[in-house]
Amino acid sequence: MILITGASGQLASLVAQRTKEAGLPVETASRSRVADRVMDFDHTETLDFSGISTLFLLSAGYAEDDIVIRRHGAVLTEARRQGVTYVVYTSLSAASDHLGFALAHRWTERALIESGLGWTILRNGLYAELIGTLAAPRQGRITVPFGTAAISAVARADLADAAFEVLQNPKAHAGLTYELSGVTPFSVPHLAQRLAVAYEPTSLAAERERLSTVPLLPFQAPMLLSISSAAMAGFLKSDVSDLLKLVPQPRDALTVAYDTAQVANG
Ligand SMILES: NC(=O)c1ccc[n+]([C@@H]2O[C@H](COP(=O)([O-])OP(=O)(O)OC[C@H]3O[C@@H](n4cnc5c(N)ncnc54)[C@H](OP(=O)(O)O)[C@@H]3O)[C@@H](O)[C@H]2O)c1
């Protein structure tokens, strides 16, 4: 039996849908009651992996590093103790190493590799939807300081397809780390051109000031700024991707970002 965690989230819900439609033996876990198992990584007593052989561990980010590390550590320890033999983990691409949330992913990769469990690591690139949301025009122009370099973003649906491919036969992917950056990189000037709006990037200081006026949790502003810094410095472009090995016909990332930016723009 496969267990998919974070099942109410955007990526894991797609993975759950694909695997269920294909008739794979699968259960879902979520903090919400809509799933087969109610599970919260922050509460070890809820971690019930009985009868599960393969765990699809959706990274539970959106918190300080120490919290994320504690969550993932608890899951790996309990999974092993309760007889899980295989873990497919959604990590973060090498191109994203400069981002504020990369560290907890690298910690989890190391813990998984050293755990004695079988594993496959899916190093997901930045979502095209995320870039579309962050670079959505405000008052008719894009101001986020993302520079002009290309970004190897990838559609969330492609990452779900990649996960599905692995879950169909995890052991065929044992001990493999897949770099899943997008293969049709685009820059924010490209996005602005497609949206027919101006791109007038502010400075990092101005963006930091703007973020201080937005209701965010304390850890979020530095994480968001790290995306701007890495994009501006050209570090979000990757020349290495294994995406085509798992998803032969990926979606066009610019189109996905464009669609998202349009929705975000109202
Ligand atoms: N590649 C990227 O661009 C990128 C960007 C941002 C984040 N991420 C990472 O990728 C993951 C999936 O992205 P997404 O877009 O699908 O995010 P999402 O829609 O926000 O889903 C994240 C899910 O994480 C689960 N989660 C959060 N806290 C948890 C906890 N304490 N215990 C168990 N599960 C918990 C939740 O599942 P339930 O609500 O079902 O419990 C939540 O729905 C994120 O969690 C984050 O680690 C990647």
For residue 150, what are the contacts with CB-CB under 8 A and spacing of at least 6?
A: 185, 186, 187, 190, 236, 237
Strand spans (E) along 49-144 = 54-57, 86-92, 118-124, 141-142
pLDDT-derived band of residue 33, with 50, 70 and 90 as boundaries?
confident
Structural domains counted in the chain: 1
Distance between Cα 90 and ligand 1 center (Å): 10
Phi, psi of 209 (to 5 degrees): -65, -45
Is residue 148 within 6 Å of ligand 1 at its C-beta? no
Share of the chain above pLDDT 70, in %: 100
For the cut 80, the answer to whether the pLDDT of residue 265 exceeds it is: no
Ligand 1 midpoint to CA 5 (Å):
9
Q: How far is the CA of 56 from the centre of ligand 1 (A)?
A: 13
How high is the pLDDT of residue 266?
66
In this prediction, residue 116 carries a pLDDT of 96
For 128-138, the pLDDT digits (tens) are 999 999 999 99
CA of 191 to the centre of ligand 1 (A): 26
Structural domain containing residue 161? 2-264
Residue 244 has pLDDT above 70, yes or no: yes
pLDDT, mean over the chain = 97
Exposure string of 133-167, with b = 16+ CB inside 10 Å and e = fewer, is: ebbbbeeeebbbbbbebbbbbbbbbbbbbbbbbbb
**Residue 260 CB–ligand 1 contact under 6 Å:** no
List the CATH number of the domain containing 22: 3.40.50.720
Residue of minimum CA distance from atom 25 in ligand 1: 6
Residue pair 5/30 in contact (Cβ under 8 Å)? The answer is yes
For CA atoms 254, 260, 261, 266, give the dihedral sign: positive
